[in-house]
A and B are shown apart, each in its own frame.
Chain A
Amino acid sequence: MNSVLHGGPAILVHCAVLEPERGAVLLFGESGMGKSTAFKRWRKNGGEGISDDMALLDFSRKDRVFVRRMPTWSACREGRNEWNYPSGEEIPLAGVLVLGRSESGHDEIVPIREAQFFAQCYRSMFYWFIFAASALPGVMKERLAKTLRTQTEIITGMFPPRALLTALDGNLTDFLKELL
C-alpha cells in the first residue's frame, strides 16, 4: 500500500498466472470463480505456472508490463513444501482473461464488453487493498484510486476484452496453448 501511494511501480494483484512459453497470462476472477481450479487443470496436463491467487505486476518499464510470481495459495494451504517460488524472475505479460463459468460444457474464450473487462481488472487490482483502503484519508484514497485506474487502463489497453469460460474437466492446457 505504502509503495503504491508513493508512486511505486509494482502492485500486488489478485489473479492466477499461467505461463505459456511466451509470457504470463493473468486469469482475473472473484474468489470461488475457479482460478485455482483452472490453474490446477492447466498444470495437470503439463502447463507451467506456480501462482494461483496473486502476482506482482511491475509497471516500471515504459513499453511492457512484467509479472513476478507469488506463492500459490493452494500450495501453502495444502503444505506442498517441496515447491519453491522463484518470485524474483520477471515474466513479460502476454495476456489477460476474465474467468467465467461455461454453460456449454466445454472450455471457450468469448469476447466481453470493454466495461465488464475493465471492471473485473480494476476489481482484481483493488482486491488486496479493500480493507486498508477504507481507512485511508480522502486525499490518499484519491491517490490510490488514480494509481489503480491508471494501471488498469494500461493492462486493459494491451489486450482484447475476453473471458475464459471454463468447464469442469477436459484438457484446458491444450485448449489454451493453441490460443495463447
Chain B
Amino acid sequence: MKLNPFTIMAEQFDGTGLIFSPETNTSSAINKTGVYLWRRLEAGAGEEELIRGLLEKYDGLSEAQATADVKAFLQGLRDRSYLSEE
C-alpha cells in the first residue's frame, strides 16, 4: 500500500486538507482525521498502524469504528487513484 507519488495533500489553515492529483486533475477535501491518516501514510504506516493510531488519538472510539473508518478512508483513496497496492 503506497501513496501515488504524484498526488499531493495541502493542509489548510483550519486543519482540514485538500488532496490533488495532477494526473487526473481531481481534488478531494478531507477532514482533520483524514489529514492525520494521510500524514501517517506518508510516513509509511499500514492499515493496522492507522487503526491503532486512531484508537490512541480519540478516546472512546471503538476498535470496530476505527477499523471501519480507516477502511473507508483507504478505499476512498484507492477509488481516486491516490493510493496503490505497489
| A119 and B5 in contact, given A30-B25, A134-B23, A138-B86 (Cβ under 8 angstroms) | no
Considering the complex, give the chain A residue whose CB is closest to the CB of B18: A115
Contact check, A119 vs B23: say whether CB atoms are below 8 A apart.
no
Told that A115-B10, A116-B18, A145-B5 touch, could you supply 7 new A-B pairs with CB distance under 8 A? A113-B12, A115-B18, A115-B20, A123-B22, A126-B6, A141-B5, A144-B6
| A133 and B10 in contact, given A119-B18, A142-B5 (Cβ under 8 angstroms) | no
Considering the complex, give the chain A residue whose CB is closest to the CB of B86: A138
Task: Give CA–CA (A113, B10) in the complex, Å.
Answer: 11
Neighbour of B10 across the interface among A30, A118, A123, A138, CB < 8 A:
A118
Shortest distance between the CB of A129 and any CB in chain B (Å): 9
Task: Give CA–CA (A134, B81) in the complex, Å.
Answer: 12
Q: How many residues of A contact B (CB 8 A)?
A: 23
**Chain A to chain B contacts (Cβ below 8 Å), 5 pairs:** A115-B18, A116-B18, A122-B8, A134-B23, A148-B6
Chain B residues near A114 (CB-CB < 8 A):
10
**A:112-143 near B, CB below 8 Å:** 113-116, 118-119, 122-123, 125-127, 130, 133-134, 138, 141-142
Chain B residues near A122 (CB-CB < 8 A):
8, 20, 22
Chain B residues near A113 (CB-CB < 8 A):
12
Contact check, A119 vs B8: say whether CB atoms are below 8 A apart.
yes
